[in-house]
Structure 1
Amino acid sequence: MVSIILQVICSFLVWLSLYSGFWCWNKHRTLEWSCRMITLMHGLIVTFLSGYIALIDGPWPLTHAGHPNTAHQVRLMCLTLGYFLFDLSWCIYFKSEGSLMLSHHMLSICGTAFVLMLGKSATEVNAVLFVSESTNPLLQVRWFLRDMGHYHNFLGDLVDSLFVTLFLGLRIIGGAWIIHSVMTSPKTIWMIKVSPGGKQ
């Protein structure tokens, strides 16, 4: 458990340092611009890593829900938990989000921390991260295009089309598939069965 706590603290400090770096290098931009750069980086990194873990490294989330956490899953959960803590802190400090988004952040933090403490069910949380974070980079690119005044053209339409395609394919269809496997898994405890639907 000490190792997990240290990994989460290191992750938080890395995201905070990257944010500070972006802010120092881009002082002509808003603070939200720097925060969204971190969100974009997190989305890309987590999509790649969670996809690799779910689809290549294993175990397969549709058949191994509720199984013990692997070392790769734990590292990814720690990386993500550090980011969630950074993002929640930023939102609270700058009062940028309402109570609904803050509640979503808290649910994500509690669910991820619970899986790390429990020592199992990272397989399904990893799959949920993959389907939910895969569309996040496109949302950030959309924001950057709007911020720079380049949204209302072919590039903006392309980003929107890719977002809708991924949202329907991964979040709706893939998410429903994951939820079904979690709900029917005899090894997944009831608290985990409640959280994936909330995270979707």
Structure 2
Amino acid sequence: MELLVVFALLCLCCWASFYFILCTINGSRSYEWNCRLVTLVHGIVAVCITAYIGYVDGPWPFTYPGTKNTPLQISALMISLGYFIFDMAWCVFFRTEGAVMLAHHTMSILGILLTLWLGESGIEGCAVLFGSEITNPLLQTRWFLKQTGHYETRLGDAVDVLFVLLFVVMRIFVGGTMLYCELISPRPRFFIKCGGVAMYALSWAFMVDIVRFTIRKSKSWQKQRVRKEMVTANGHDGKMD
């Protein structure tokens, strides 16, 4: 356990150092810009490692929940634990996030700590990391497109559509299947199952915001289409005149 604490602190220091290095070499950008770069890198790293764990190293999380943690699972959870602690501290200090995102970070930290303390259910933890972080690069790309003035383009629309689709598929449908397998299996501890229910409920809280965003986006696309049709119609009228 002492070794795990040292490893967690080391990961936290690495993420914090990465952030401060970005602030130094990329000083013309805002603190949030550099923090989101850290978030983007963590998302890519977490997805790659957990995908390898789930699809190659094993075991399959839907079939073998509650199994003993492997060294690779522990490493992946430690890397993300260090990041979540760093990002939680950053968000609290700069007051940039709302209650739902802070709750997500808090539950992620507590879930990882519980998994490491029990020494089991690491495969479920990695599966949750994969499902929650796979949409993260798209979310950060969307923010960077907004900051650089390229959001109101087809690229921005493609990022939004892909983000919504991935979120619904991974967090709601695949996440729901994962939770069902977790609940019916006799192996995972009761606290792990409760954590799974809490994370899935939080996904639905995010889903409410995504539905609202989708409605606004649909109305925006509809207005743009009507505007283009009006411009086209006026153009034809002008030619006829």
TM-score bin (small chain): over 0.9
Q: Does 1:64 align with 2:64?
A: yes
Matches within 5 A, 1:72-111: 72-111=72-111
- Which ranges in structure 2 are unaligned for 5 or more consecutive residues? 201-241
1:168 CA displacement: 2.3
| Residue 198 of structure 2: aligned partner | 198
1:173 CA displacement: 1.6
Q: 1:130 aligns to what SS in structure 2?
A: helix
| Equivalent-residue separation in structure 2 for 1:103 and 1:131 (angstroms) | 17
Residues 131, 170 of structure 1: 8 Å contact kept: yes
Which residue identity is paired with 1:56? V
When structure 1 is superposed on structure 2, of 107-116 and 190-199 the one drifting more is 190-199
| Equivalent-residue separation in structure 1 for 2:172 and 2:57 (angstroms) | 24
Q: 2:68 aligns to what SS in structure 1?
A: coil
1:92 CA displacement: 1.4
Which residue identity is paired with 1:121? S
| Equivalent-residue separation in structure 2 for 1:10 and 1:25 (angstroms) | 22
Number of aligned residues: 200
Q: 2:175 aligns to what SS in structure 1?
A: helix
RMSD: 1.1
Counting aligned pairs with the same residue, the percent is 43
| Equivalent-residue separation in structure 1 for 2:169 and 2:110 (angstroms) | 27
Q: Which runs of 4+ in 1 moved over 4 A?
A: none
1:167 CA displacement: 1.5
Can you list the C-alpha shifts for 1:86-106, whole angstroms capped at 9, x where unaligned?
001111111222333222211
- Which ranges in structure 1 are unaligned for 5 or more consecutive residues? none
1:143 CA displacement: 0.4
Matches within 5 A, 1:1-200: 1-200=1-200
Q: 2:166 aligns to what SS in structure 1?
A: helix
1:70 CA displacement: 0.6
Q: Which has the larger radius of gyration?
A: 2
**TM-score w.r.t. length of structure 2:** 0.80
Residues 125, 196 of structure 1: 8 Å contact kept: no
1:197 CA displacement: 3.0
1:169 CA displacement: 2.1
Q: 2:52 aligns to what SS in structure 1?
A: helix
1:6 CA displacement: 1.3
**TM-score w.r.t. length of structure 1:** 0.96
Which residue identity is paired with 1:92? V
| Equivalent-residue separation in structure 2 for 1:147 and 1:163 (angstroms) | 18
1:165 CA displacement: 2.2
